[in-house]
Structure 1
Amino acid sequence: MDAMTVDETTRTVAPVRAAEELELKRDEFRLAVRMGLIRTAPNPVAVPDPRGAHRDRPPERRPVARAELDRLRAAPDFPEGLRERVRAVGAGEAAGLLSVSYDRFNRLARTGHLSPVRFYLNRYRMVVWLYLAAEVTAFGEENPGLLTGRLPAGVRERHAAGEDLRARNWRSRHLSLLLRGTDDPWARAAAIASLLDPVQVAEVVDDPYERAYLDRLRPAPPPGLPVAGASHETAVRLVRADDPDEILWHRMSLALALDEARAVRQAPYPGERRRPVQEPDPEPPATEAAGRAEAGQAAGPPVRPAPRPPARPHAGRGAPSPGRAPGPRRPGLLGRIRRALPGRTPAGGRWGQGRDWG
């Protein structure tokens, strides 16, 4: 087993083995990697296939260097300290950590004072939000005035108006963890696009080949997301932005991320083939060149090589690419930001959260 999980040449350990050595559960290990508490090996240089559909491995699926495991295990509070930093608790346990009622904690969480780190749907299809125990404890130490007495008027008014920022705060944290896990500009753009409805993405990304590429690079769904049924639909509503100003923010972020990605490389399109760059032939010696010239004069005019096809310009920034239908010229950055400004909400207006448990 060790021979299969430990690479003796690079001294790295497979994620499953690393979690065992760090005495972490699967979800705890995944969260610790996403939070940057455990450094994994970088992705190898990805060589795209003919369609350009390469995908980096997420951080929690990359090997861990033996030196990193030794560093974590050498901590004086190992393993309790590492487990405590990634321990996630529900609203009831979090209220107990703060010595407040369940209702008071729910009000604080709904009004954005605490940000969930995970969620799952229980057997009754109710949303259960989980919070980092360390963050809950730190919040209590920094805000003792919110734990006793009457809540401030602003908090009471926002709660009475039905404000619930738990899903939005979770999406913001989820996106930051996704962006932390990759340096590829197209993968970062795909992470932003994963929080938007496909209609919103299509309005910002007018090139269908770019949309297909973003879809291939879409990050894996969050852990515990149901794969089908009514629970899946509820979870998808939580993953996608539903507030108008949140949608606007992600649309503008996607437009800017696409500009950065296009500056690095173009999105592939069907039929494109990436050929390795060939070194030019060395110049022949003078005597050999003269001999070839004499033979050419005797045999006839020299055969000229076929001209190289022109480089494929970026869609909308020059002549259309071979095999791709010509489209309208892509507007500049300011124009794309203006296009992102309308940001209409999904059908039916603002999505509701439905029933859920804190």
Structure 2
Amino acid sequence: MSNTSDLDLTKDAVRVDRTSSGKEHFEVLDGLRGSAAFLIVIFHLFNYSFGWDNALSLVRHAYLAVDFFFGLSGFVVAYAYDDRWTRMSIPQFFRIRLIRLHPLVLLGATLGLLGYIFDPFGKAINHTPAPMLLLAYLTSLLLLPSPPVGGRHNETQALNGPAWSLMQEYLGNIAYALILRRLRAVTLGIIFAVSGLLLIWVANVRGSLDGGWGYTEIWMAPLRLTVSFVMGLWLYRIQSRIRHPKIGLLVLSIVLIVVFQMPKFPSVNGFSLNGLYDVACVLFIFPLIILCGAHSKAGAGMMRLCKLSGRLSYPLYITHIPFVYVISNFAGTRHPGKLVLLAWIFVVLPLAITVAWLALKYFDEPVRAWLTRRYGIKRAIV
């Protein structure tokens, strides 16, 4: 969804932000994608470091950012491509999406491998035979489920845990190109409703929607994708029929923070209030945020922040986890005091953001520009 041009942000701040195909960007949605990615990093840093039931376990529901991403993707993919199928083939669509997404998949897998090998605090647990580690790296490059490696939590993407949602993103794009784009809004609404009912049942039984990233609950990944991605497609198709307030990036980002920061709720009379809260966010709160953000303008003062936030969101999401593993292993092996650990987190956080920026400027954008020129694809990447 980020603009791949190298226009000067200052000069462009007061202009309407458009893709190369002439469509306006949803600048507030760009900014919200960045806000959600930043909150995911906070979630991983604090919960991996301090444990999952601690006063410093911040934004405990931020795993729902994945569902928010899926919803955003469905909405924006429909906006970008629904009206282009008379002049675009399925292979061309796949090529565009691969160029948009896969360079950072390769970089994320490589950083994950390097972090695994050179983690100074993980030597006692990061034990994996070289052939198995190589296989895990190769499968990560292809965004396929990888074999488990020592020192990880049985994740389907052992070297770069967050990449599990990118694998689902690919499946969503394939389903859109082959089937979903052909369906009417009412059919998409029915799919959303039926899958949403199943999600309610799962959330109540499991007590949470935090699942899909590991082998033990891998079946949750396609369910979470289906609900939110189809919801995004459906919202785009019906948006003109819905009245919605125009709310800017700052307020909507605060809403996300509040939603993610809520405590873990107990179970009452056989009902998991925590699971039901999670599913209420996915089925009701996130659609409202997307609709409000899609029809809001950033304004000249916030445009640069929205664009920067949107551009950084994907690099930050896909490259940050090696830093989380290192500081988590530091906490687990050295047992530092809370103040020391907090100090290190506030060193690691800007470092992770800096690496994401460098990855964007000196790898992702140049590689995507070269591939676009090489394969003659019009630059209409969302």
Report the structure, 1 or 2, having the larger strand content: 1
Per the normalisation by structure 2, the TM-score is 0.23
Larger relative CO (CA 8 A, sep 6+): 1 or 2? Answer: 2
Per the normalisation by structure 1, the TM-score is 0.24
Structure with the greater alpha carbon radius of gyration:
1
